């Protein structure tokens, strides 16, 4: 595999995030291989966030979806709201397959 192709593959495997106001923009891939750094930093990363925009995620697997459910549940226990924007068809399908529509009802 050429170096350029390897770089493209590695970029897709990475998860990055950027805060703009009260919105957190997730970019890249959210799966079991990429979510550890976000999970470890979630409390500080999400401290001032009330919306997570997932429109720039190229791929989300079931562990990524589980992360969303967990952080939303944690927020609800704290009496705070957390919304998700930019949910694409692939993620909607995964949400439906796992029967998690109630967690994302306002966002589908």
- The model carries a pTM of 0.85
Establish if 1 belongs to a structural domain: no
Establish if 63 belongs to a structural domain: yes
Establish if 108 belongs to a structural domain: no
Establish if 7 belongs to a structural domain: no
Establish if 2 belongs to a structural domain: no
Per residue in 20-77, pLDDT tens? 999 999 999 999 999 999 999 999 999 999 999 999 999 999 999 999 999 999 999 9
Establish if 4 belongs to a structural domain: no
> How many domains is the chain built from?
1
Q: Distance between CA atoms of 72 and 52, rounded to whole angstroms?
A: 10
**Is residue 87 over pLDDT 50?**
yes
Q: Distance between CA atoms of 17 and 101, rounded to whole angstroms?
A: 24
pLDDT of residue 108: 63
pLDDT of residue 2: 46
Q: Domain containing 43: what range?
A: 16-49+58-103
């Amino acid at each position: 595999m050429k170096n350029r192709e390897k770089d493209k593959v590695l970029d897709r495997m990475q998860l990055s995030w950027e805060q703009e106001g009260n919105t957190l923009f997730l970019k890249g891939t959210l799966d079991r291989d990429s979510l550890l750094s976000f999970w470890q930093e979630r409390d500080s990363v999400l401290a001032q966030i009330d919306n997570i925009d997932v429109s720039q995620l190229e791929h989300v697997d079931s562990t990524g979806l589980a992360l969303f459910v967990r952080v939303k549940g944690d927020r609800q226990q704290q009496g705070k709201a957390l919304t998700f924007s930019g949910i694409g068809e692939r993620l909607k399908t995964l949400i439906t397959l796992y029967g998690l529509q109630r967690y994302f009802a306002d966002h589908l």
